[in-house]
Structure formats: structure tokens, C-alpha cells
């Protein structure tokens, strides 16, 4: 009877140990699998960046990303990152050394690595991190940053989500810009502002002067990249107003410490914006020129959108 009892106890103990080992094995395998997936995603991110692959970014990035201390929408971030290639045609990036997984759980992974960036034949190394979160069995990038600028950037908490990245003064550093609209009167007093109906484009680099836009109650600034090859990103804006579908498109460049129009403001109608027409881009057939797309009223046709090549101020 005692032998039967001890055999029974031994069988239970063996079964428990086997189950525990098997469970640990499954968990370890899953952890190893997730580690491999996340590590590969870092290389996929690097490949998407150097190949200028917007479709790959769409898959890798979450809808909103903490980008070097600031929350950014996916679309804004993609525009900013991919515009680097327009500004620096010789831009190169590589992951130098190994990718380390600092933290790994069922829902989050933090990876660190050295990001080597080469511009104008000069290379700099940045200790970079990517944070992934798992959503519906897919890992998405929710944060990107480096350990050099992290402390400085996180102190700037007054930058809105729709701020746009760019190098607007040519100092080689990325800054943010955003529009500060006027306060609109409420109640029965419609179509009026508290004070002047002027907006201002503001920058995270406080050494940059504000851009004043008169008779403007809103709008989203756009980074057009370096259109005139002077080392700075040009800024575009379609000013909003209470009424009318017509509005001049404005493009600024930074020259000798001041904001000036890169081209003369040109008229646009809401039809061309609804059709997704690009308002301005480099004319690659004519150095120092850009192609602008503007609107011109005509009773003979419904297509009011025209285009022409104009000289851009450098």
C-alpha cells in the first residue's frame, strides 16, 4: 500500500515538473520569437528609411508616435522624415553594431542601437531607441528618440500635436513649426476676432522670428523641403478665412535672418485643393525655378487649375 502511495506521489510530482518545464519552454520560445520579430522590425524600419519607402512606414508606424519628445501624427512624421532625402540627396543611414532589446513584455518592447548618419561625407553616431507596442498581434513603433537629445526635447511641453518638423534656418537641426490662430469672438458676433484677425507661425527654436499672416484665422503650415537649394526648408501655408473659396498660397524662405516670400503669393481655389493638386515643387528641367499650380477663373471650362515655371528666390 505504501509503495502504491509513493508511486502516486511521484507520478503527480513528475507530471507537475514536466508541465512547468513545458510551460517555461513555451514561454521562452514565445519570448525568443517576439525578440526575433522586434529585432527584425528595427532593420525593416532602417530599410524603409534608406529606401524612402512610404508604404513600409505605413505598416511599421502606429497612428501617433512619440517622436524625440513630441507626439506626432503618422502622416506628419512620414512627410518630415522622407523630406530629408530631398534636402540631402547624399543622405545615408545605417545601424552600426547590434540591436539590443532592453525591455520585452507581452505588449511592449524597447530596442536600442547606434544609428550612424552620413551627410556630405561626414558621419555621426547617435545612440537611438525605438519603442514597440503590440496591437492585434502586430508590433507597431510608438516612439523614436535618441539618448543625446532626449532630455532637451522632453522639456518643451508646449508644442502641439500638429507641429511640423524641418530645418527652417539651415543650422542642420530639426525644429518644429505650428500656426497660432487669433481668438474668434463667440456668441452673436460672428465673423470677427478678438483683436486683429492675424495668425502667426511659431517655432520651437525661439531664436527664429515669428511669421505674421494678416487676415488669417487658421491653416496648416507645410514643409516643402529645400525648394531653392539654399540649405533651408521652405514653408507653405494656405490661409483660412471666414468665407470665400479663393485664397493666395504663401511660400516663405529664410534669408539673411529674415522670412521673405520665396515666390510671389499665387491665387488658389478650393477646387484645386479638393483635387489634391500639389501647389509648388522643384522644376527639375530648369535650375533655380519651381512649378507653381494656381487657379484662374474661366467661363469656358470647369478646369481652373493652371501651372507655370517661375524663378524662386534663393
| Predicted pLDDT of residue 287 | 93
Q: Which comes out higher in pLDDT, residue 190 or 177? A: 177
| Predicted pLDDT of residue 213 | 97
Strand 138-146 relative to strand 61-67, pairing: parallel
Q: In the predicted model, is pLDDT for residue 21 greater than 70?
A: no
Whole-angstrom Cα distance, residue 83 to residue 78?
8
pLDDT, tens digit, 9 for 90 and up, residues 239-290: 999 988 999 999 999 999 999 999 999 999 998 999 889 999 999 999 999 9
Whole-angstrom Cα distance, residue 231 to residue 236?
16
| Predicted pLDDT of residue 20 | 43
Please give the CATH number for the structural domain made up of 25-152.
Answer: 3.10.450.50
Whole-angstrom Cα distance, residue 289 to residue 227?
9
Domain ranges of the chain: 25-152, 158-311
- Output the CA angle 99-138-29, nearest 5 degrees: 65
Amino acid at each position: 500500500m505504501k509503495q502504491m502511495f509513493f508511486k502516486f506521489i511521484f507520478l503527480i510530482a513528475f507530471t507537475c515538473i514536466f508541465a512547468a518545464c513545458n510551460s517555461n519552454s513555451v514561454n521562452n520560445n514565445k519570448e525568443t520569437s517576439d525578440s526575433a520579430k522586434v529585432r527584425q522590425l528595427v532593420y525593416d524600419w532602417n530599410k524603409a528609411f534608406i529606401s524612402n519607402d512610404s508604404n513600409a512606414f505605413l505598416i511599421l508606424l502606429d497612428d501617433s508616435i512619440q517622436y524625440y519628445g513630441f507626439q506626432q501624427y503618422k502622416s506628419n512624421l512620414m512627410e518630415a522624415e522622407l523630406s530629408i532625402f530631398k534636402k540631402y540627396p547624399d543622405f545615408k543611414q545605417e545601424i552600426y553594431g547590434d540591436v539590443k532589446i532592453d525591455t520585452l513584455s507581452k505588449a511592449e518592447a524597447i530596442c536600442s542601437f547606434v544609428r550612424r548618419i552620413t551627410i556630405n561625407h561626414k558621419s555621426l553616431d547617435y545612440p537611438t531607441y525605438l519603442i514597440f507596442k503590440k496591437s492585434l498581434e502586430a508590433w507597431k513603433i510608438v516612439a523614436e528618440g535618441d539618448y543625446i537629445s532626449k532630455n532637451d526635447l522632453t522639456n518643451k511641453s508646449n508644442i502641439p500635436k500638429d507641429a511640423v518638423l524641418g530645418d527652417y534656418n539651415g543650422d542642420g537641426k530639426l525644429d518644429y513649426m505650428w500656426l497660432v490662430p487669433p481668438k474668434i469672438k463667440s456668441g452673436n458676433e460672428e465673423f470677427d476676432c478678438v483683436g486683429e484677425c492675424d495668425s502667426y507661425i511659431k517655432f520651437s527654436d525661439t531664436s527664429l522670428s515669428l511669421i505674421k499672416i494678416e487676415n488669417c484665422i487658421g491653416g496648416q503650415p507645410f514643409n516643402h523641403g529645400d525648394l531653392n537649394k539654399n540649405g533651408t526648408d521652405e514653408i507653405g501655408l494656405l490661409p483660412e478665412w471666414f468665407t470665400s473659396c479663393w485664397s493666395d498660397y504663401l511660400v516663405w524662405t529664410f534669408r539673411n535672418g529674415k522670412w521673405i516670400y520665396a515666390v510671389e503669393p499665387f491665387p488658389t481655389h478650393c477646387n484645386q485643393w479638393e483635387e489634391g493638386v500639389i501647389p509648388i515643387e522643384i522644376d527639375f528641367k530648369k535650375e533655380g525655378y519651381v512649378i507653381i499650380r494656381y487657379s484662374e477663373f474661366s467661363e469656358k471650362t470647369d478646369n481652373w487649375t493652371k501651372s507655370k515655371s517661375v524663378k524662386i528666390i534663393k
